[in-house]
Structure 1
Amino acid sequence: MSFYKIILTVGFISLFHSAFSAAQHRSYLRITSQEFTTLPLDIVIQAVGSLFLLMWGVLNVAGNLREIQAAAELNNKTWETQKNIPSFYIFNHRLKAMSPYYVPNEGKGDLENLE
Protein backbone atom coordinates (compact mmCIF):
# COMPACT_ATOMS: atom_id res chain seq x y z
CA MET A 1 0.00 0.00 0.00
CA SER A 2 2.84 2.43 0.78
CA PHE A 3 4.47 1.77 -2.63
CA TYR A 4 1.36 3.00 -4.41
CA LYS A 5 1.19 6.07 -2.17
CA ILE A 6 4.76 6.90 -3.18
CA ILE A 7 3.79 6.46 -6.84
CA LEU A 8 0.81 8.77 -6.23
CA THR A 9 3.04 11.40 -4.61
CA VAL A 10 5.56 11.22 -7.45
CA GLY A 11 2.71 11.56 -9.94
CA PHE A 12 1.38 14.69 -8.23
CA ILE A 13 4.84 16.25 -8.06
CA SER A 14 5.48 15.43 -11.71
CA LEU A 15 2.12 16.87 -12.80
CA PHE A 16 2.76 20.02 -10.80
CA HIS A 17 6.23 20.31 -12.35
CA SER A 18 4.84 19.96 -15.87
CA ALA A 19 2.22 22.65 -15.17
CA PHE A 20 4.90 24.95 -13.77
CA SER A 21 7.11 24.27 -16.81
CA ALA A 22 4.24 25.12 -19.15
CA ALA A 23 3.61 28.41 -17.32
CA GLN A 24 7.32 29.19 -17.39
CA HIS A 25 7.46 28.46 -21.12
CA ARG A 26 4.53 30.83 -21.74
CA SER A 27 6.19 33.62 -19.75
CA TYR A 28 9.46 33.05 -21.66
CA LEU A 29 7.57 33.43 -24.95
CA ARG A 30 5.99 36.68 -23.73
CA ILE A 31 9.36 38.10 -22.68
CA THR A 32 10.96 37.25 -26.02
CA SER A 33 7.88 38.49 -27.95
CA GLN A 34 7.34 35.16 -29.67
CA GLU A 35 3.94 33.79 -30.56
CA PHE A 36 2.67 30.74 -28.69
CA THR A 37 1.92 27.79 -30.95
CA THR A 38 2.34 24.61 -28.92
CA LEU A 39 4.05 23.39 -25.80
CA PRO A 40 7.39 21.64 -26.16
CA LEU A 41 7.17 17.87 -26.56
CA ASP A 42 8.99 17.11 -23.29
CA ILE A 43 6.39 19.04 -21.26
CA VAL A 44 3.50 17.28 -23.01
CA ILE A 45 5.08 13.85 -22.49
CA GLN A 46 5.73 14.62 -18.82
CA ALA A 47 2.12 15.80 -18.28
CA VAL A 48 0.57 12.77 -19.98
CA GLY A 49 2.95 10.36 -18.25
CA SER A 50 2.27 11.84 -14.82
CA LEU A 51 -1.46 11.71 -15.51
CA PHE A 52 -1.26 7.98 -16.23
CA LEU A 53 0.95 7.51 -13.18
CA LEU A 54 -1.66 9.27 -11.04
CA MET A 55 -4.50 7.17 -12.44
CA TRP A 56 -2.59 3.95 -11.77
CA GLY A 57 -1.72 5.06 -8.24
CA VAL A 58 -5.27 6.09 -7.41
CA LEU A 59 -6.73 2.82 -8.68
CA ASN A 60 -4.34 0.82 -6.50
CA VAL A 61 -4.63 2.98 -3.39
CA ALA A 62 -8.43 2.92 -3.50
CA GLY A 63 -8.50 -0.86 -3.09
CA ASN A 64 -11.05 -3.31 -4.39
CA LEU A 65 -14.33 -1.97 -5.62
CA ARG A 66 -17.49 -3.16 -3.92
CA GLU A 67 -20.94 -3.58 -5.35
CA ILE A 68 -23.42 -0.87 -4.45
CA GLN A 69 -26.59 -2.43 -3.12
CA ALA A 70 -29.52 -0.29 -4.18
CA ALA A 71 -31.92 -2.02 -1.81
CA ALA A 72 -29.69 -1.80 1.29
CA GLU A 73 -31.87 0.89 2.89
CA LEU A 74 -35.06 -1.00 2.12
CA ASN A 75 -33.98 -4.21 3.89
CA ASN A 76 -34.97 -2.86 7.31
CA LYS A 77 -38.35 -1.43 6.28
CA THR A 78 -41.61 -3.30 6.30
CA TRP A 79 -43.82 -3.59 3.24
CA GLU A 80 -46.45 -1.27 4.75
CA THR A 81 -44.03 1.64 5.18
CA GLN A 82 -42.23 1.43 1.84
CA LYS A 83 -44.97 3.13 -0.17
CA ASN A 84 -46.10 5.44 2.62
CA ILE A 85 -44.74 8.83 1.45
CA PRO A 86 -46.63 11.69 3.11
CA SER A 87 -45.15 14.31 0.79
CA PHE A 88 -47.14 12.79 -2.08
CA TYR A 89 -50.50 13.07 -0.33
CA ILE A 90 -52.93 15.24 -2.31
CA PHE A 91 -56.24 16.22 -0.77
CA ASN A 92 -57.35 18.94 -3.17
CA HIS A 93 -58.22 17.04 -6.37
CA ARG A 94 -61.17 16.53 -8.72
CA LEU A 95 -62.66 13.60 -6.82
CA LYS A 96 -64.02 15.98 -4.19
CA ALA A 97 -66.77 16.87 -6.71
CA MET A 98 -68.14 13.33 -6.23
CA SER A 99 -68.75 13.99 -2.55
CA PRO A 100 -72.42 14.62 -1.55
CA TYR A 101 -71.24 17.54 0.64
CA TYR A 102 -69.38 19.36 -2.15
CA VAL A 103 -70.47 22.94 -2.81
CA PRO A 104 -68.95 24.31 -6.03
CA ASN A 105 -67.35 27.74 -6.13
CA GLU A 106 -69.62 30.38 -7.56
CA GLY A 107 -67.02 32.40 -9.42
CA LYS A 108 -65.02 33.17 -6.28
CA GLY A 109 -61.40 32.22 -5.83
CA ASP A 110 -60.29 29.80 -3.16
CA LEU A 111 -58.81 32.60 -1.05
CA GLU A 112 -62.14 34.39 -0.90
CA ASN A 113 -63.95 31.30 0.38
CA LEU A 114 -61.92 31.03 3.58
CA GLU A 115 -64.23 31.49 6.54
Structure 2
Amino acid sequence: MGSTVFNKLLLVAGFASLAHAAFSAAHHRTYLRLTEQEWTSLPLDIILQTVISLVLVIYNIIQIVGNFKEIRATVDMQQKTWDTLGNFPSFYTFNHRGRALNPSYKTPKPSEIEASK
Protein backbone atom coordinates (compact mmCIF):
# COMPACT_ATOMS: atom_id res chain seq x y z
CA MET A 1 0.00 0.00 0.00
CA GLY A 2 2.72 2.45 0.99
CA SER A 3 4.83 1.75 -2.07
CA THR A 4 1.96 2.44 -4.47
CA VAL A 5 1.38 5.84 -2.83
CA PHE A 6 5.09 6.56 -3.13
CA ASN A 7 5.08 5.46 -6.79
CA LYS A 8 2.08 7.69 -7.49
CA LEU A 9 3.84 10.65 -5.90
CA LEU A 10 6.94 9.96 -7.97
CA LEU A 11 4.73 9.69 -11.07
CA VAL A 12 3.20 13.10 -10.37
CA ALA A 13 6.68 14.53 -9.74
CA GLY A 14 7.89 13.00 -13.02
CA PHE A 15 5.00 14.55 -14.96
CA ALA A 16 5.63 17.91 -13.28
CA SER A 17 9.31 17.71 -14.13
CA LEU A 18 8.47 16.76 -17.72
CA ALA A 19 6.12 19.75 -17.98
CA HIS A 20 8.85 21.98 -16.53
CA ALA A 21 11.30 20.69 -19.13
CA ALA A 22 8.81 21.47 -21.90
CA PHE A 23 8.28 24.97 -20.49
CA SER A 24 12.05 25.47 -20.24
CA ALA A 25 12.52 24.38 -23.85
CA ALA A 26 9.83 26.81 -25.03
CA HIS A 27 11.34 29.58 -22.90
CA HIS A 28 14.81 28.89 -24.35
CA ARG A 29 13.41 29.01 -27.87
CA THR A 30 11.72 32.35 -27.11
CA TYR A 31 14.99 33.70 -25.65
CA LEU A 32 16.85 32.74 -28.83
CA ARG A 33 14.26 34.50 -30.98
CA LEU A 34 14.45 37.68 -28.91
CA THR A 35 18.24 37.79 -29.00
CA GLU A 36 18.17 36.85 -32.71
CA GLN A 37 20.47 33.90 -32.22
CA GLU A 38 20.35 30.85 -34.41
CA TRP A 39 18.77 27.77 -32.84
CA THR A 40 21.09 24.78 -32.86
CA SER A 41 19.95 22.53 -30.01
CA LEU A 42 18.59 22.60 -26.50
CA PRO A 43 20.94 23.08 -23.55
CA LEU A 44 22.22 19.92 -21.90
CA ASP A 45 20.36 20.53 -18.62
CA ILE A 46 16.99 20.61 -20.38
CA ILE A 47 17.81 17.43 -22.32
CA LEU A 48 18.92 15.64 -19.14
CA GLN A 49 15.82 16.79 -17.25
CA THR A 50 13.61 15.52 -20.07
CA VAL A 51 15.28 12.11 -20.25
CA ILE A 52 15.36 11.60 -16.47
CA SER A 53 11.71 12.70 -16.15
CA LEU A 54 10.66 10.38 -18.94
CA VAL A 55 12.45 7.41 -17.35
CA LEU A 56 10.88 8.27 -13.98
CA VAL A 57 7.39 8.44 -15.50
CA ILE A 58 7.76 5.19 -17.44
CA TYR A 59 9.15 3.28 -14.45
CA ASN A 60 6.42 4.45 -12.08
CA ILE A 61 3.62 3.77 -14.56
CA ILE A 62 4.88 0.20 -14.87
CA GLN A 63 5.02 -0.12 -11.07
CA ILE A 64 1.49 1.24 -10.59
CA VAL A 65 -0.17 -0.77 -13.35
CA GLY A 66 1.04 -4.11 -12.03
CA ASN A 67 1.49 -7.39 -13.84
CA PHE A 68 1.17 -7.50 -17.58
CA LYS A 69 -0.92 -10.13 -19.35
CA GLU A 70 0.62 -12.42 -21.88
CA ILE A 71 0.12 -11.31 -25.47
CA ARG A 72 -0.41 -14.83 -26.75
CA ALA A 73 -4.01 -15.95 -26.34
CA THR A 74 -3.02 -19.59 -25.90
CA VAL A 75 -1.64 -18.86 -22.42
CA ASP A 76 -5.08 -17.82 -21.16
CA MET A 77 -6.80 -20.63 -23.05
CA GLN A 78 -4.63 -23.34 -21.47
CA GLN A 79 -6.16 -22.65 -18.06
CA LYS A 80 -9.77 -23.06 -19.25
CA THR A 81 -11.64 -26.34 -19.45
CA TRP A 82 -13.69 -27.52 -22.43
CA ASP A 83 -16.87 -26.71 -20.52
CA THR A 84 -16.02 -23.03 -20.13
CA LEU A 85 -14.63 -22.43 -23.63
CA GLY A 86 -18.07 -22.08 -25.21
CA ASN A 87 -19.59 -20.15 -22.32
CA PHE A 88 -20.38 -16.56 -23.33
CA PRO A 89 -22.68 -14.96 -20.74
CA SER A 90 -23.01 -11.80 -22.81
CA PHE A 91 -24.93 -13.79 -25.43
CA TYR A 92 -27.54 -15.10 -22.98
CA THR A 93 -31.02 -14.06 -24.06
CA PHE A 94 -33.97 -14.31 -21.73
CA ASN A 95 -36.58 -12.36 -23.67
CA HIS A 96 -37.10 -14.23 -26.90
CA ARG A 97 -40.04 -15.65 -28.84
CA GLY A 98 -39.28 -19.23 -27.89
CA ARG A 99 -41.52 -19.02 -24.86
CA ALA A 100 -44.45 -18.02 -27.13
CA LEU A 101 -44.07 -21.37 -28.87
CA ASN A 102 -44.63 -23.16 -25.57
CA PRO A 103 -48.24 -24.44 -25.44
CA SER A 104 -48.59 -23.56 -21.75
CA TYR A 105 -47.38 -19.98 -22.23
CA LYS A 106 -49.90 -17.28 -21.35
CA THR A 107 -49.44 -13.75 -22.58
CA PRO A 108 -49.15 -11.34 -19.64
CA LYS A 109 -51.82 -8.67 -19.32
CA PRO A 110 -50.77 -5.02 -19.54
CA SER A 111 -51.61 -4.51 -15.87
CA GLU A 112 -49.25 -7.36 -14.92
CA ILE A 113 -46.46 -5.84 -17.03
CA GLU A 114 -46.83 -2.42 -15.37
CA ALA A 115 -46.95 -4.04 -11.92
CA SER A 116 -43.66 -5.83 -12.55
CA LYS A 117 -41.88 -2.58 -13.41
Classify the TM-score, shorter chain: 0.5 to 0.7
Structure 2: how far apart are the matches of 1:53 and 1:12?
9
- Distance apart, 1:66 and its partner CA: 2.7
Unpaired runs of at least 5, structure 2: 78-83, 88-117
The aligned residue for residue 13 of structure 2 is: 10
The one-character-per-residue Cα deviations of 1:66-89 (angstroms, maximum 9, x if unpaired) are 3356365x8126xxxxxxxxxxxx
Q: Which has the higher helix share?
A: 2
Q: Does 2:26 align with 1:23?
A: yes
Structure 2: how far apart are the matches of 1:44 and 1:17?
12
Q: Report matched runs for 1:27-106 at 5 Å.
A: 27-67=30-70, 70=73, 75-76=85-86
Runs of 4+ in 1 over 2 A off after TM superposition: 66-72
Measured at CA, do residues 40 and 67 of structure 1 come closer, stay the same or move farther in structure 2, by a change above 3 Å? same
Secondary structure at the counterpart of residue 38 of structure 1: coil
Unpaired runs of at least 5, structure 1: 78-115
Measured at CA, do residues 34 and 61 of structure 1 come closer, stay the same or move farther in structure 2, by a change above 3 Å? same
Structure 1: how far apart are the matches of 2:40 and 2:17?
23
- Match for 2:25: what amino acid? A
The aligned residue for residue 97 of structure 2 is: none
Q: Once superposed, what is the RMSD of the aligned Cα atoms?
A: 2.1
Structure 1: how far apart are the matches of 2:72 and 2:53?
34
What is the identity percentage for the equivalent residue pairs of Structure 1 and Structure 2? Answer: 49
TM, length-normalised to structure 2: 0.60
Of structures 1 and 2, the larger Rg is shown by 1
Q: Alignment length, in residue pairs?
A: 77
